Structure 1
């Protein structure tokens, strides 16, 4: 017994000395002002409002700045678009689309030492302009990417109370809404091949069939399957095309990152992936089989019994979540390889 206690004692002392070494090293290699400032900043953020300055209105569209508490239960946030508050802001939220190619419209005021600049972007690398002056500028990333500092997917599947599955009445087999039509897109080629084997109800400006938002909801709900085809294929780039179809009671047929990537966000039996088939003809035959097999089709809705779809409230939710992140993470760093992190997407196909 005494041998066991001695071993435990040695282990405890080893852990103690290791922690003491790490703490003393931090204090030795960091100036007292650094760690005192960090502790003071952390205490200060917990006891007052966090100020987040929205530097540009995303896509030029203003949004509500006072609803973090009522919409997302995030309190103690002061969202503002008043540039006069720059020197007091804890964070500056900057949307990539509005940044000038020479960065001339970024803040030029003296930058407070503890202030964090947040790079916000929901577009894929294929649709995001590379701007040469962004390295060593930002402190945090906000993106659909799972490895962003502030992860903001386009939507999510969340737990809810158990409920009966409700499938809307169907009168169309396959539907597709599209606005961004480019012949070089993989989804355009796939659609042209698929339509040779199965009827597809198409909507949107490229087809001369623009519809209202209410009509969109009614149409998608009436479709057994919906083509949730992304305009480019990148890791984690899974947009509202998927989540809206799920929410409206249609089974999404996805084209985007791998099935494994999709299954990190939604159940594997809630969707169909084009990569599961050797060709559009194989997919068409599978859809025709499901159209004749109600039991198999209803299996795509099992997730509904205790889950529901939550759509991300872009851009307000981005700003509110930024506030929450800043309050919980007073530490500061600089992003030195933004280009490598975002644009070098090895899973691009």
Structure 2
């Protein structure tokens, strides 16, 4: 049994109801069954002094306590200043995050969605089964850039990405912007499916800069899953190349200035052949094999596999210090541009 102490942010996903199966394990949210659980997964929002003190007194030494977060370290740091994330010295055994070096890999891309994405090369194309390389292009795409953003100034990355998009617009790039930052979130929700399908690109700009392996729903859900080419800012390109299909995105770091990037995107808008090359990865055997394997199992199933492998005991001196000390200064910068000492 795996106990998720609480659902992520308090909301259980549709396919994560109490009692769902993860491999050979059963997952529950019932805290009264904590003594039965082989693993207890605790979301970072539940890491309080009261929880740490109570569990330290009652935990079973054979249990594994798992720290769970899919937020960038910069946000964890911001949250810590507000909610007082207390010292977790020698409390957690494993981490479950989006980082590839985490004990349990928990990316933003769900296993079921990944299966759909990486089998798309024979979908919506009218191509015969057995075709190896297919250019996927939706001819109804005629609107340029889409950007949906609600975090304008909470983090250093939030501020910097706003500045960068302003520079793109100043350089002549048409960008349709929606979200709380522009007081038009309701307008976005009212957009028709045809309208949403018409955007060629999505600005997959993260709210964190150069955080290890941090690739969020901005890339996957708003970009790849929606048949748009992601334009990326924030995530390191070397991380992306290990986590997403090659030649599926455009990275801001490849251009000396925002104006150079804007010029290239305008070129792609006027060159259908060059634009559609960003969909050729759908026919790549490497993509379908390597990435499908990387994302084929849910985080809970990977956790179950790890439990069944009879792992050796392990304790993390401090998850907080481990996370913050292993990230770059760019990742942990505050809006005031100084590196926070934790």
Q: TM-score, normalised by structure 1?
A: 0.75
Map of 1:66 onto structure 2? 19
Q: SS at the partner of 1:264?
A: helix
Matched, 1:204 2:179: yes
Q: SS at the partner of 1:107?
A: helix
Map of 1:223 onto structure 2? 199
Q: SS at the partner of 2:303?
A: helix
**Larger CA deviation: 254-263 vs 126-135:** 126-135
CA RMSD of aligned residues (A): 2.8
Unaligned runs of 5+ in 2: 126-134, 331-342
Aligned 8 A contact 2:108 2:216 in 1: yes
State the Cα distance separating 1:104 from its structure 2 match: 5.5
State the Cα distance separating 1:162 from its structure 2 match: 4.8
Map of 2:217 onto structure 1? 240
Matched, 1:149 2:103: yes
Map of 1:160 onto structure 2? 119
Count of residues in correspondence between the two structures = 291
Aligned 8 A contact 2:95 2:103 in 1: yes
Map of 1:100 onto structure 2? 48
Matched, 1:322 2:300: no
Map of 1:37 onto structure 2? none
1:80–1:194 distance in 2 versus 1, CA, 3 Å: same
Residue of 336, 343, 347 corresponding to 2:317: 336
Residue of 153, 157, 170 corresponding to 2:141: 170
1:152–1:120 distance in 2 versus 1, CA, 3 Å: same
State the Cα distance separating 1:173 from its structure 2 match: 0.8
Q: What per-residue deviation string (whole Å, max 9, x for no partner) do you get for residues 4-44 of structure 1?
A: xxxxxxxxxxxxxxxxxxxxxxxxxxxxxxxxxxxxxxxxx
Aligned 8 A contact 1:89 1:115 in 2: yes
Unaligned runs of 5+ in 1: 1-50, 69-73
Q: TM-score, normalised by structure 2?
A: 0.76
Map of 1:30 onto structure 2? none
1:53–1:348 distance in 2 versus 1, CA, 3 Å: same
Aligned 8 A contact 2:147 2:176 in 1: yes
1:142–1:221 distance in 2 versus 1, CA, 3 Å: same
Task: Return the alpha-carbon distance in structure 1 between the equivalents of residues 179 and 307 of structure 2.
Answer: 40
State the Cα distance separating 1:196 from its structure 2 match: 1.1
Matched, 1:55 2:5: yes
**Larger CA deviation: 229-238 vs 121-130:** 121-130
State the Cα distance separating 1:215 from its structure 2 match: 4.1
Q: SS at the partner of 2:243?
A: coil
